[in-house]
Amino acid sequence: MRWAAGSRTRLAGRAYPGHGSAEGRQRSHQVSRRGFSHELSTSRRLQEHLKRLFDFFAALIGLIVLAPLFALIAVLIRLDSPGPAVFRQERIGRHGQPFMIYKFRTMVANNSESDYLRQLALLIHGDPAAGGRKRPYRKIGYDPRITRVGRWLRLTYLDELPQLWNVLRGEMSLVGPRPHIRLEVDAYTPRQRGRLAVRPGMTGLWQLQGKHSATFDEMIEQDLAYIANWSFWLDIRLILGTLVQVLATILLRMKVRRNGFSREGEGSQHTGHEQLSSPTAQHPSSAER
């Protein structure tokens, strides 16, 4: 699988079972923790240290520089809708360790999660009414529970910024697979658990490829391909690609809104499971995700 134009990323040791030659695996350093295997070449391990240093200082600088913006957003959220400014939820991180992810709240508070979990199960295991066919994750559309400030945050992707705190703490990375909830992780096959070999990220390959209609299994396959072909320089390309994509999306949507063709509340892609609006939407309808 190829991604990012011009990318010639070398395979620096395969990161999940079932890939790579036996000779390559023998030359690799295998690291195992709680049943998760991750083969790392010396070069790859050095790049991982570089990645963590980059994540730490980028997150630290971002939190300091953006502190006034964080405060302003928090005030606007509280003025617009009762409830906390920041939404927290348990996700599963590297090596299966749970952590609390942070986002700016974009929906009215106190939504029930029961419907969300039911519809998410259909996405993971397939819908019996459709012969077990697995429906794709799609973009979220209009939802009346999204607040006025929340629509703006989603349009500009600013609702994801509190995850810089997760990056600073070492729970997440700037780039990596999006962190799943426990229900999703429990549905992994043994091979798919290789997705837990790395820190989850704020952005990643799946988001940039634009394949937001992939099924649960297809999404994981893309994440595993990213892990297998990972390098620090690939992360840099994905970060730059994300910045370009976000800016282009904001400018395009501003132009569409000025022309009067967009429907109020049409949201951004939310791969972090904040919300699904239907069984065929990107995330099931219910509590803020």
Question: pLDDT of 196-225, one tens digit each?
Answer: 999 999 998 887 775 556 788 888 999 999
pLDDT at 16 over 50: no
Q: What's residue 43's pLDDT?
A: 79
Over residues 171-198, mean pLDDT: 94
Phi, psi (5° rounding) for residue 36? -100, 130
State which of 46-50, 124-128, 138-142 shows the largest mean pLDDT: 46-50
Amino acid (1-letter code) at residue 280: T
Give, in order, the Cα–Cα distances in Å from 220 to each of 16, 106, 178, 211, 236. Answer: 12, 26, 10, 12, 21
Q: What's residue 37's pLDDT?
A: 45
pLDDT at 21 over 70: no
Computed from CA positions of residues 136, 138, 140, 143, in that sequence, does the dihedral angle turn out positive or negative? negative
Stated length of the chain: 289
Contact 254, 222 (CB under 8 A): no
Strand, coil or helix: 62: helix
Average pLDDT, the chain: 75
Considering only 19-33, 89-103, 115-129, 228-242, which range has the smallest mean pLDDT? 19-33
State which of 64-68, 180-184, 201-205, 285-289 shows the largest mean pLDDT: 64-68
pLDDT at 132 over 90: no
Q: Give the pLDDT band (50/70/90) at residue 26.
A: very low
Contact 4, 237 (CB under 8 A): yes
254-268 pLDDT tens trace? 787 777 654 444 444
Q: Give the pLDDT band (50/70/90) at residue 248.
A: confident
Closest CA to 15 of 181, 168, 280, 234: 234
Considering only 27-31, 96-100, 144-148, which range has the smallest mean pLDDT? 27-31
Show Cβ contacts of residue 128 under 8 Å, excluding neighbours closer than 6 positions.
Answer: none
How far is 232 from 153, CA to CA, in rounded Å? 29
* Tokens found for residue 170: 């070492």
Rg (CA), the chain: 19
139-172 pLDDT tens trace? 445 567 789 999 889 888 899 999 999 999 999 9
Dihedral, CA of residue 217, residue 200, residue 108 and residue 283, to nearest 10: -10
